[in-house]
Amino acid sequence: MRKIQEQKFVSLLLFMYEEGADRLRYSSCGHEHILVARTAKKSLDGKVDLPDVEVLKAGGIIMGMVEEITPFLEEKEICLNGGDKILLYTDGATEARKPAGQMYGMRRLVESFRKGASFPIKETVYNIFEDVKRFISEGHQYDDITMVGIERE
């Protein structure tokens, strides 16, 4: 395999879901963090609290940096409960910039996910993407913004 030229990066995140299991196994090659919104719980007064969002470091080495990647691969797992949601994204989301140069960042992404996680996953992802677009406003986007949502029934 040829090494990737400078300034070109390829990450990969491979998931495997076992039917009937409450876990999702994964391996990462330098991909962005994985966000997991845990099912919101009702407080004593009957209100639904915003869910906790876990930020999991995906890890691994970016593809093409070394010839043999096998020693760098590690399988991990995420235990899921009914209603838990996962957000996967490319760095174009966190690195999206306003015209003045301010980045959207991880903090905003996590907060947008937390606020929208009570909706069905399709709507959650749509709302986060719209939040990023509002943030950059008239700014020029230099990188792709890709988001994938997963919801455990």
Give the separation between CA 100 and CA 1, rounded to whole angstroms: 40
Q: What are phi and psi of 95, to 5 degrees?
A: -95, 5
Question: What pLDDT score does 97 carry?
Answer: 93
DSSP H or E segment with residue 56: strand 53-56
- Burial class, 71, CB count within 10 angstroms (exposed 0-12 / middle 13-18 / buried 19+): exposed
Q: Which amino acid is at 95?
A: E
Q: What is the DSSP letter of 87?
A: E
**Number of C-beta neighbours around residue 150 at 10 A:** 18
Question: What pLDDT score does 143 carry?
Answer: 86
Tens-of-pLDDT digits for all 153 residues of the chain? Answer: 455 556 667 889 999 988 788 889 999 998 999 999 998 666 667 666 778 899 999 988 888 788 888 888 899 999 999 899 999 999 999 999 998 889 999 999 999 999 999 899 999 999 999 999 999 988 777 788 999 999 998
Question: What pLDDT score does 5 carry?
Answer: 59
**What is the CATH T-level fold of the domain 12-151, as seen in this structure?**
Phosphatase 2c; domain 1 (3.60.40)
